[in-house]
């Protein structure tokens, strides 16, 4: 029996690469498009070493309409698409909003136009808990109000979901948006993981780069918030748990078991941890003492957010399995492996 074929845009990225591995393990064939603006082609080697399968790869900028149209003219027999390709640096998006709107939304429109023309029906979209802003009540459910985003990055996720919903109403595609909480960690093989280019924004790469000596110290952005230890609380989720959710969402659409043509799911663990709890957990797991100081609050930071995951648990039969110790432990193992895999980076 021929394998079902899945297109993964942004498939050499952090979450994309882990999802490609999960797709191979679930018996799919995978084609990746990526413009390598925020990832490395060598990630394909890691994917192949882990899964024994080599994805087809096309270096493609989804904002280039002609290039996208000609890609789909010769590659259109996909059973589904998982769309990761987007810029995702919150801080950068504040300084360069048009870069984010042009790229993240332009890519989405070009992709949807081609899926419509080629009758490719099933799309999983990489959305984010950022759409909830500062929630009025916790945990957040999929019906919690979507609020004005704190950054253009977050706005592109809200607008991306709106574009998708309208495309579903126009019978262009069926779709599932997965609202990620904070993806962290790395594959247990330490052959793929997060590779921040330049100075990382997210907490975990800052922690592991400080632990390995690439950075001098960690600044905790505020410990005067209304939380038990004063630092912000997030719902951290292992990237391998997140990857599995994408495969399940895809299967739901391909098998025609969606209850609505457009569905949204929170993909988190349902547990919130503070920044200082994450640092303490890392020290416990690594046996290292982290050099950190308390600094000023970071503009746009949400104080506290974690997910109500009951809808995904019930409807998708999916539940996060990995705990915080495993998450930070796998991130640390990956950081120590980067110099071997990417000697030019260290
Ligand atoms: C987490 C906590 C910081 C760095 C963003 C996006 C989200 C998703 C994940 C892409 C916060 C604190 C951080 C540091 C710190 N994006 N922190 N010192 O902002 O929750 O979410 O990244 O996938 O959509 O919004 O993640 O890791 O930047 O911050 O104290 O050096 O760590 O203040 O409380 P965030 P983050």
Nearest CA to ligand 1 atom 28: 202
How many whole angstroms from 223 Cα to the centroid of ligand 1?
Answer: 15
For ligand 1, mutation pick of 203, 243, 299, 306 (most atoms within 8 Å of CB): 203
Q: Which atom of ligand 1 is nearest to the CA of 220?
A: 30
- Which residues surround ligand 1 with Cβ inside 6 Å? 88, 90, 128, 130, 182-183, 201-203, 206, 218-221, 232, 234, 275, 298, 301
For ligand 1, mutation pick of 104, 204, 298, 303 (most atoms within 8 Å of CB): 298
How many whole angstroms from 233 Cα to the centroid of ligand 1?
Answer: 10
**CA pair distance 216, 293, nearest whole angstrom:** 11
Nearest CA among 268, 266, 265 for reference residue 182: 268
pLDDT of residue 346: 62
Nearest CA among 299, 324, 128, 153 for reference residue 238: 324
How many whole angstroms from 301 Cα to the centroid of ligand 1?
Answer: 8
For ligand 1, mutation pick of 38, 89, 90, 210 (most atoms within 8 Å of CB): 90
Nearest CA to ligand 1 atom 19: 301
Domain residue ranges of the chain, discontinuous segments joined by +: 5-186+236-269+306-321
The architecture of the domain spanning 5-186+236-269+306-321 is 3-Layer(aba) Sandwich (3.40)
Nearest CA among 153, 51, 147, 146 for reference residue 97: 153
pLDDT of residue 108: 98
Angle CA 279–283–284, to nearest 5? 115
How many whole angstroms from 202 Cα to the centroid of ligand 1?
Answer: 5
pLDDT of residue 345: 74
- Could you tell me if 213 and 206 are in contact, meaning their C-beta atoms sit under 8 angstroms apart? no
Q: Is position 153 annotated as part of the catalytic site?
A: yes
pTM of the model: 0.97
Cβ contacts of residue 192 below 8 Å, gap of 6+? 17, 18, 21, 43, 46, 47, 50, 186, 334
**CA pair distance 80, 8, nearest whole angstrom:** 9
How many whole angstroms from 169 Cα to the centroid of ligand 1?
Answer: 34
SS (H, E, C) the chain: CCCCEEEEECCCCHHHHHHHHHHHHCCCEEEEEECCCCCCCCHHHHHHHHHCCCCEEEECCCCCHHHHHHHHHHCCCCCEEEECCCCCCHHHHHHCHHHHHHHHHHHHHHHHHHHHHCCCCEEEEEEEHHHHCCCCCCCECCCCCCCCCCCHHHHHHHHHHHHHHHHHHCCCCEEEEEEECEEECCCCCCCCCCCCCCCCCCHHHHHHHHHHCCCCCEEEECCCCCCCCCCCEECEEEHHHHHHHHHHHHHHHHCCCCCCCEEEEEECCCCCEEHHHHHHHHHHHHCCCCCEEEECCCCCCCCECCECCHHHHHHHCCCCCCCHHHHHHHHHHHHHHHHHHCCCCC
Q: Which atom of ligand 1 is nearest to the CA of 218?
A: 31
Pairing of strands 262-267, 174-180: parallel
The sign of the dihedral angle between the CA atoms of 138, 139, 143, 147 is positive
Nearest CA among 50, 53, 14 for reference residue 34: 14
Q: How far is CA 157 from the centre of its chain?
A: 12
Nearest CA among 172, 39, 34 for reference residue 112: 172
Tens-of-pLDDT digits for all 346 residues of the chain?
789 999 999 999 999 999 999 999 999 999 999 999 999 999 999 999 999 999 999 999 999 999 999 999 999 999 999 999 999 988 889 999 999 999 999 999 999 999 999 999 999 999 999 999 999 999 999 999 999 888 899 999 999 999 999 999 999 999 999 999 999 999 999 999 999 888 898 999 999 999 999 999 999 999 999 999 999 999 999 999 999 999 999 999 999 999 999 999 999 999 999 999 999 999 999 999 999 999 999 988 999 999 999 999 999 999 999 999 999 999 999 999 999 998 877 6
Nearest CA to ligand 1 atom 3: 221
pLDDT of residue 198: 86
Q: Which atom of ligand 1 is nearest to the CA of 15?
A: 23
Q: Is the peptide bond before 306 cis (omega within 30 degrees of 0)?
A: no
How many whole angstroms from 139 Cα to the centroid of ligand 1?
Answer: 18
Q: Considering the candidates 153, 236, 262, 273, report the single residue annotated as catalytic.
A: 153
Nearest CA to ligand 1 atom 34: 232
How many whole angstroms from 110 Cα to the centroid of ligand 1?
Answer: 29
Q: Which atom of ligand 1 is nearest to the CA of 88?
A: 10
Nearest CA among 337, 57, 49 for reference residue 194: 337
């Amino acid at each position: 029996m021929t394998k079902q074929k899945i297109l993964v845009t942004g498939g050499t990225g952090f979450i994309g690469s882990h999802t490609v591995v999960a797709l191979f393990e679930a018996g799919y064939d995978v084609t990746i498009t990526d413009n390598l603006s925020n990832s490395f082609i060598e990630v394909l080697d890691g994917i192949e070493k882990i899964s024994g399968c080599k994805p087809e790869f096309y270096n493609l900028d989804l904002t280039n309409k002609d290039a996208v149209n000609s890609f789909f003219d010769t590659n259109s027999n996909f059973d589904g698409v998982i769309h990761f390709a987007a810029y995702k640096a919150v801080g950068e998006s504040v300084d360069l909003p048009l870069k984010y709107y042009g790229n993240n939304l332009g890519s989405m429109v070009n992709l949807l136009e081609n899926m419509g023309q080629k009758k490719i029906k099933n799309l999983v979209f990489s959305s984010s808990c950022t759409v909830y802003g500062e929630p009025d009540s916790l945990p957040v459910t999929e019906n919690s109000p979507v609020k004005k985003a704190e950054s253009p990055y977050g706005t592109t996720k809200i607008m991306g979901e709106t574009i998708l919903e309208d495309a579903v109403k126009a019978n262009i595609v069926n779709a599932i948006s997965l609202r990620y909480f904070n993806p962290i960690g790395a594959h247990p093989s330490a052959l793929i993981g997060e590779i921040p280019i330049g100075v990382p924004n997210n907490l975990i790469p800052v922690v592991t780069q400080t632990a390995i000596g690439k950075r001098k110290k960690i600044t905790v952005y505020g410990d005067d918030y209304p939380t038990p230890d004063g630092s912000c609380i997030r719902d951290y989720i292992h990237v391998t748990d997140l990857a599995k959710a994408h495969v399940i969402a895809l299967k739901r659409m391909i098998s025609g078991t969606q209850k609505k043509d457009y569905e949204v799911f929170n993909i988190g663990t349902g547990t919130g941890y503070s920044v200082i709890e994450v640092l303490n957990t890392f020290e416990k797991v690594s046996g290292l003492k982290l050099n950190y100081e308390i600094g000023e609050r970071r503009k746009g930071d949400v104080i506290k957010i974690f997910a109500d995951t009951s809808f995904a648990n019930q409807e998708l039969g999916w539940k996060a399995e990995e705990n915080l110790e495993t998450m930070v432990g796998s991130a640390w193992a990956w950081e120590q492996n980067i110099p071997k895999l990417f000697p030019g980076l260290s």
